[in-house]
């Protein structure tokens, strides 16, 4: 995968340029007199909101905001017209793009939805979403045609809408997912929030949730946007990423019950991956799997990560046990499970009679 900061910066710039080009054709209109689509704001207020969000996201990342929004706001000079306002949108977009490009991959900053922080990819995707959706709202009110590129829409969907099943038309899917349109066979959306990836801390590691975009890159042989130790991800990681992609395309992916990269704190390198095979079943059981690059084995990383991920899972409502299966001759994996507190149990599924089953109960 290309450098995610560079890609995010390009996507912000492209979204802003496309929106400004369309809205510039009607800058001579009275934007205060026109409601922006289904919003309660008028078009002037909506354009100002776009600029405010772009600036706020740049500020969150640049200021490394830890637990709240940085306390500042945008103020336009008195008498600023629509052309001037679009200039502000271009400028705040450039600020966010530059901040995304220069922010290290592992930096996270406060954002409330849904896990209280986001990385540079999340802020870039949120910025692009604000531009695309609110430009649509304004264009609807002003009666002009606006349709962003499929690439921009897919960029947003695969990063902050991992729970939304992709459709054949990325723009129509994004509009539907945000309550702005209809899709055949899908119920109307009346309430929505986007979803940044979850990050779980451990002692020497950080478990970083893998987005559908990163999973697809891993499944196709890429690095998923992570620098890797030991020559890159192993086959088990790529197979797990393929499971994430399949779940996403089927509309059953639940990001917190997906896959996590195990990133070493000391050098920022990914040493493996760990994740769930899906959301908990009706009995409260969730299955976990994991793999490490060969160079990182024997250092206790898998045990540490499994303790962190299992502990998080068992603290979720409705989860009563974490389950794992392993080959009888995989003694290293069995040792990891036992050190993490799992105990061997009878195999429940006849199809798994050749495997050893382990579980950890809450």
| Domains, the chain, ordered by start | 4-177 (1.20.120), 199-361 (3.40.630.30)
Share of the chain above pLDDT 90, in %: 97
* Helix/strand/coil for 326: strand
Predicted pLDDT at 9 = 98
Distances (CA, A) of 240 to 17, 122, 145: 37, 22, 41
Angle CA 176–180–184, to nearest 5: 40
Q: What is the mean pLDDT of the chain?
A: 97
Residues in the chain: 362
Q: Is the pLDDT of residue 351 over 80?
A: no
Angle CA 135–252–137, to nearest 5: 10
Predicted pLDDT at 292 = 97
pLDDT in tens, 45-74: 999 999 999 999 999 999 999 999 999 999
pLDDT in tens, 116-158: 999 999 999 999 999 999 999 999 999 999 999 999 999 999 9
Quote the CA–CA distance of 226 and 75 in Å, as a whole number: 38
Average pLDDT over residues 191-206: 97
Predicted pLDDT at 129 = 98
Where are the strands (E) in the chain, listed by range? 108-109, 118-119, 199-201, 205-209, 259-264, 270-276, 285-292, 321-326, 343-345, 356-361
Contact by Cβ (8 Å): 235, 293: no
Predicted pLDDT at 240 = 97
Burial label for 148, CB within 10 Å (0-12, 13-18, 19+), is: buried
Predicted pLDDT at 231 = 86
Contact by Cβ (8 Å): 153, 132: yes
Measured over the CA atoms of residue 158, residue 41, residue 147 and residue 130, the dihedral's sign is negative
Of 255, 250, 289, 297, whose CA–CA distance to 273 is shortest? Answer: 289
pLDDT bucket at 348, cuts 50 / 70 / 90: confident
Q: Is the pLDDT of residue 322 over 80?
A: yes
pLDDT bucket at 352, cuts 50 / 70 / 90: confident
Quote the CA–CA distance of 217 and 2 in Å, as a whole number: 10
Predicted pLDDT at 152 = 98
Average pLDDT over residues 240-252: 98
pLDDT bucket at 106, cuts 50 / 70 / 90: very high
pLDDT in tens, 289-321: 999 999 999 999 999 999 999 999 999 999 999
Contact by Cβ (8 Å): 37, 136: yes
């Amino acid at each position: 995968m290309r450098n995610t900061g560079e890609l995010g910066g390009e996507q912000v710039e492209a979204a802003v340029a496309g929106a400004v080009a369309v809205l510039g054709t009607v800058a001579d209109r009275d934007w205060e007199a026109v409601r922006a689509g289904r919003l309660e704001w008028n078009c002037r207020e909506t354009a100002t909101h776009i600029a405010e969000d772009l600036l706020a996201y740049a500020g969150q990342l640049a200021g490394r905001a830890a637990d709240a929004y940085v306390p500042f706001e945008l103020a336009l000079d008195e008498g600023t017209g629509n052309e001037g306002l679009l200039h502000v949108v271009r400028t705040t977009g450039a600020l966010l793009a530059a901040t995304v490009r220069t922010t290290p991959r592992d930096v996270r900053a406060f954002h409330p939805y849904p896990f209280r922080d986001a990385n540079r990819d999340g802020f870039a995707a949120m910025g692009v979403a604000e531009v695309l959706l609110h430009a649509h709202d304004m264009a609807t009110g002003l009666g002009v045609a606006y349709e962003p590129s499929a690439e921009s829409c897919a960029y947003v969907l695969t990063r902050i809408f991992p729970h939304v099943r992709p459709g054949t038309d990325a723009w129509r899917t994004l509009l539907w997912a945000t309550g702005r349109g209809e899709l055949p066979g899908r119920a109307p959306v009346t309430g929505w929030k986007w979803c940044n990836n979850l990050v779980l801390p451990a002692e020497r590691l950080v478990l970083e949730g893998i987005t559908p975009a990163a999973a697809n890159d891993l499944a196709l042989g890429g690095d998923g946007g992570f620098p890797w130790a030991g020559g890159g991800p192993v086959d088990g990681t790529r197979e797990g990423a393929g499971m994430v992609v399949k779940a996403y395309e089927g509309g059953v992916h639940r990001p917190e019950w997906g896959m996590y990269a195990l990133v070493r704190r000391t050098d920022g390198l990914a040493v493996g991956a760990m994740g769930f095979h899906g959301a908990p079943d009706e009995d409260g059981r969730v299955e976990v799997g994991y793999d490490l690059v060969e160079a990182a084995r024997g250092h206790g990383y898998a045990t540490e990560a499994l303790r962190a991920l299992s502990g998080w899972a068992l603290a979720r409502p409705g989860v009563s046990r974490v389950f794992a299966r392993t080959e009888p001759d995989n003694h290293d994996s069995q040792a990891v499970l036992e050190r993490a507190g799992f105990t061997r149990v009878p195999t429940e599924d006849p199809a798994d009679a050749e495997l050893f089953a382990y579980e950890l109960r809450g």
